Amino acid sequence: MQDIAELLDRLLVTLCEVPPDASASRIADAFVATLADALPGAAIGVRVKQTSGAFVIARRSSRPIDRVDDDAPRLFPSFEHERIIQVPKDERSALHLASDVRKDVYPDGPLKLYLTRFALTIGAALRHARAHDEVRARHARLHDIDMKFVHASRLASFGQIAADIVHELNSPLTSVLAYSDYLHQKALRSGADASDTERLGRIHQAAERIHGFTRDLLAYARPRHGVPSAVAIHDVIEQALVFCDHVLDELHVRVERAFGDVPAVRGIPDQLTQIFVNLFTNAAHAMRQHGGCLTIQTSVVPGQSIVRVKLEDEGHGIAPEHLEKIFEPYFTTKPEGMGTGLGLSIVRSIVTAHGGQIRAYARPNLGAVFEVDLPADVRPHELASK
């Protein structure tokens, strides 16, 4: 038998040689090799269950190793005796010793003490590796959050600049509106060429459309923080669709309305519009590859003064493991540069501030479903003018 001091020295060397960022698999392999030298008559194995639920298994034996399931009780079923030693302070890790000779797996004297020290040492190495992984993952998350903060700040600055540009455009646009209307009316009175008159009318209509869009965009970029009032939810939806018109057209998304007879809701129009701009944009991006249909349904929740807006798309859907995370700040499944991960978090904040709720579901076949519940307001004479 080897000297116990020499065995302990080799165990210490193994612990020192394992890098702090070593994987569980590398740690298991290194310690299995060390123990195999100490117990040449036994088959040696280490099983580690990771946080993800997957197993890391390292084995060494003098005879061919049978294939076993990761969660099988024994790692060496072909041997008569197999001893399983739970690693102290680590319920996810276990040491396996196997042999046809019982004494090889249940040694006494110094080797018994050595096994105790061995289990303690490999447990410490595995815990240190996990702690290192957690610190590294935490650092990566903090770095990611920092980068997203920077990106969000840039977006906010860009939005402010865009709003200022729109404000500056409104002055010459007003002149275009006035003069195009004047020329159109003059052409009508003078009996000018019909095609020229029609062109002037189209110029004026296009300018009106741009003016309306810039006015709405300015209101969206600089929302008013007024007192909540009664708001027609269908008007809010239609205005949000105007904002998203170019995105829906570009991605070949058609919109189907299934509007019910619903009362007004109590809220701030600009903020309610922001809810649906985000949801419609996300739905369009989810259907980026093949287009599809966005269905918007409104109804009253039976027995409650709640107006429900239900959105169904035909996009790539939401993975089950993401359903609980999509409303968290900075969580996004979009490619780099496609989103900050703030949209749905802001949506939930606005809905909650209005006394409502928002939920997300994965559709059975494809796409996703979002339900927005908002408290109804039964005073239609207070409907906010758009």
Indicate the residue among 104, 138, 172 that finishes a domain: 138
Inter-residue contact 286 to 319 (CB < 8 Å) = no
Distance CA 18, CA 264 (A): 66
Q: Same structural domain for residues 67 and 109?
A: yes
CB-side neighbour CA atoms (13 Å) of 9: 5
Which residues does residue 372 pair with via DSSP β-bridges, in sequence order?
Answer: 309, 358
Backbone angles phi, psi at 377, to 5 degrees: -120, 120
Q: Same structural domain for residues 12 and 127?
A: yes
Q: Same structural domain for residues 378 and 233?
A: yes
pTM: 0.47
Distance CA 313, CA 311 (A): 7
Indicate the residue among 138, 169, 192 that finishes a domain: 138
- In 222-320, where does DSSP find H-type helix? 233-243, 245-250, 269-286
Q: Strands 43-49, 55-60: parallel, antiparallel or unpaired by DSSP? A: antiparallel
Give the alpha-carbon dihedral of 159, 165, 166, 167, to 10 degrees. 110
Q: Same structural domain for residues 306 and 370?
A: yes
Q: Same structural domain for residues 26 and 89?
A: yes
Which residues does residue 310 pair with via DSSP β-bridges, in sequence order?
Answer: 297, 371
List, in order, residues 6 or more apart from 232 with CB less than 8 Å away.
Answer: 264, 383, 384
* Total number of domains in the chain: 3
Give the alpha-carbon dihedral of 54, 58, 62, 64, to 10 degrees. 30
CB-side neighbour CA atoms (13 Å) of 237: 21
Distance CA 304, CA 313 (A): 26
Which residues does residue 368 pair with via DSSP β-bridges, in sequence order?
Answer: 362
pLDDT in tens, the chain (386 residues): 458 888 899 999 999 998 888 889 999 999 999 999 889 889 999 999 887 788 899 999 988 888 888 788 899 999 999 999 999 988 889 999 999 999 999 998 899 999 999 999 999 999 988 888 888 888 888 887 777 677 666 666 666 676 777 777 877 888 888 999 899 999 999 988 999 999 998 898 888 878 776 766 665 566 556 678 899 999 999 999 988 888 898 899 999 999 999 999 999 888 898 889 889 988 998 888 888 999 999 999 998 999 999 999 988 877 666 666 677 655 555 544 444 445 677 788 889 889 999 998 877 667 889 999 999 986 544 444 43
CATH, residue 73: 3.30.450.40
Q: Same structural domain for residues 233 and 361?
A: yes
CATH, residue 292: 3.30.565.10
Q: Same structural domain for residues 150 and 111?
A: no
